[in-house]
């Protein structure tokens, strides 16, 4: 819709990359918003009430009390969203964007063999997903280490 219909409605030509960034940005921002909402709702109401009773200003309450807990709670879901977003970028090939999948299709068409280029693309995606997963685990371990260190 963004690549084919939006330019006709607005009269502006969008590149495949720009349309992809807009589409993936809108889609992912909706998921991230829900992840943040759920993370904030996971904090016990007593945390907010205690901060109000102690007359902690709103800015400091959010910065020092609420957000550190929220980030710890939502880190796994945010990691999952980043991995999902990475895998969804293969869809940009459907509108001619030059991502990993589209490049492997171009190589495959030029060489008249699809197995090796698609396996290389799959390996690229696999390595990228594993890197994101490890980064997410490192962040979670850091949060758990900090939590255990304070006690």
**pLDDT tens, the chain, 151 aa long:** 888 888 888 888 888 888 889 999 999 999 999 999 999 999 999 999 999 999 999 999 999 999 999 998 999 999 999 999 988 888 887 777 778 888 888 899 999 998 999 999 999 999 999 999 999 899 888 877 655 565 4
- CB-CB contact of 129 with 83 (8 Å): yes
- This prediction has a pTM of 0.77
């Amino acid at each position: 819709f963004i690549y084919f219909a939006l330019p006709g409605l607005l009269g502006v030509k969008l590149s495949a990359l720009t349309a992809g960034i807009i589409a993936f940005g809108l889609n992912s921002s909706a998921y991230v918003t829900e992840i943040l909402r759920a993370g904030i709702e996971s904090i016990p109401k007593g945390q907010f009430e205690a901060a109000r009773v102690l007359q902690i200003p709103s800015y400091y309450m959010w910065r020092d009390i609420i957000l550190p807990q929220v980030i710890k709670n939502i880190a796994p879901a945010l990691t999952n969203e980043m991995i999902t977003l990475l895998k969804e970028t293969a869809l940009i090939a459907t509108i001619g964007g030059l991502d990993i999948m589209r490049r492997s299709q171009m190589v495959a068409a030029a060489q008249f063999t699809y197995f090796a280029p698609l396996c290389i693309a799959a390996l690229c995606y696999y390595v990228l997903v594993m890197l994101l997963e490890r980064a997410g685990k490192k962040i979670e371990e850091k949060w758990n280490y900090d939590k255990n260190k304070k006690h």
